[in-house]
Amino acid sequence: MKRTWPQSFLWLTLLIIVAIALIPILIDSASLREDLFLTLMLVILASSINIIMGYTGYVSFGHIVFFGLGGYFAFFLMLNYQVHFVLAALASGVGASVFAFLLGIPVLRLRGAYFALATIGINEAVRSFVTNFEPFGGAVGMFFNYAVYDAYGGARNALWFAYYAIVAVALVTVAASFLIKKSKFGLGLMAIREDQDTAQVLGIDPTRYKVLAYTCSAFFPALAGAIFFFKNGIIEPGPAFALLRSIEGLVMVMLGGYGTVTGPIVGAVVYERLRAFLITNPNFSSLHLFIAGLLLLVIVLFVTAGVVGWLRQRVPLLRRYLE
C-alpha cells in the first residue's frame, strides 16, 4: 500500500486537473476556458522552472526564453510551411530543447548568481536577435490570416482546440515533473542541488545531469508558447520574451514550494487567482506587481519552503502523502 501511494498520488493529481479542465467544456463557458487556459499555462511554466530550479538548484531567471522560442518556431512553421499545429508545436519543443542542450553545456558551468544572470542575458540576447531577424518578422513580429484556423474548424473551434492542447501539455508536464522527481535521474539532480562536489564524489556526472535537466525544462514551456501564440494569432518579440513573466514564474515556484511536484501547481493557481483579483479590483489594479514583489520577499524571508514545503515540514505525516 505504501509503495504504491506515490503513483496513486500522481493519478489523483492528474485526475483533479482533468476534472477542473472539464468544467468549461461542460458548461460551455468561454470566459472560464480563458481563465483556465492561462492558469494551466502558468502551471506548465512553473513546473518546468521547478525542474531546473527546484530539483537541480539552478535558478533560471530567463526561462521565458523557451516559451518565446517555442512560440516563434511553431508560428514560423505554421505560417510559412502550413505545418499542422500539433506537429509544429512538437517541433518547437524539440527545437527549444536542442537550444537548451547546446546552451547548457557552457552556461551550466556557472554556479549560483552567475548562472541566474546568464539566463537573463540569454533571454535579452535572443529577444534582440529575433527583433532584428527578418524571417521571424523582426520587430513587427508575425500574424496569422484567419484562414489559417480553417484547418482546425474555424477560429472559434481553434480556441477550444488550443484549450485541449494546453490541458494535455499541462498533464504531461505534471506527470514528467513527478516521474523525474521519483527517478534515479531526479535523485541525482537533488544531490547536485544539495552539494555538487559531494554529488560528484558519489559518482554523479554533474554536467551531464544538469544539461539533461535544463533540456527537459525547456521542452514544456516551448509547447506552451506554441499553443499560446497559435491561439493569439500574432507573435511579437516583446510579449514572447517578457522577462516579467519569467520572474512571475519564479514567484509561483517559491510560493508553492520549490522542489515539490504540487508546489508549482499550487503556486501558479494561487498567484493567478491573486493577480486576477487584484487586477479587477479598482483599489489594487495598478499594484499587483508590487504585491507580487512583496509576496516574494515574504516567502524568501520567512517561508523559504513555500506553501507545500511548509506543510511538509510542519506535518510529518504529509511527507509520505504529499509530493
Residues that bind another protein (CB under 8 A): 182-184, 187-188, 190-191, 193-195, 197-206, 259, 319
Residue 258 beta carbon to another protein: minimum distance, rounded to whole angstroms: 10
Residue 318 beta carbon to another protein: minimum distance, rounded to whole angstroms: 13
Q: Which is nearer to another protein, 133 or 185 (CB)?
A: 185
Residue 205 beta carbon to another protein: minimum distance, rounded to whole angstroms: 5
Cα–Cα distance measured from residue 178 to residue 257, given in angstroms and rounded to the nearest whole number = 14
Q: Look up cell 485541449; give the residue.
A: 164
Q: Look up cell 535521474; give the residue.
A: 185
Residue 180 beta carbon to another protein: minimum distance, rounded to whole angstroms: 12
Q: Which is nearer to another protein, 105 or 243 (CB)?
A: 105
Amino acid letter, 44: I
Query: How does DSSP classify residue 16?
Result: H
CB atoms within 10 A of CB 155: 15
- Of 180, 223, 188, 261, the closest CA to residue 88 belongs to 223
Q: Which is nearer to another protein, 181 or 231 (CB)?
A: 181
Amino acid letter, 60: S
E strand or H helix that includes residue 235: strand 234-235
Residue 182 beta carbon to another protein: minimum distance, rounded to whole angstroms: 8
Q: Which is nearer to another protein, 56 or 123 (CB)?
A: 56
Cα–Cα distance measured from residue 262 to residue 253, given in angstroms and rounded to the nearest whole number = 10
For residue 50 the three cell numbers come to 521547478
Q: Which is nearer to another protein, 134 or 197 (CB)?
A: 197
Q: Which is nearer to another protein, 199 or 254 (CB)?
A: 199
Residue 264 beta carbon to another protein: minimum distance, rounded to whole angstroms: 17
> Is beta strand 142-143 parallel, antiparallel or unpaired with respect to 234-235?
antiparallel
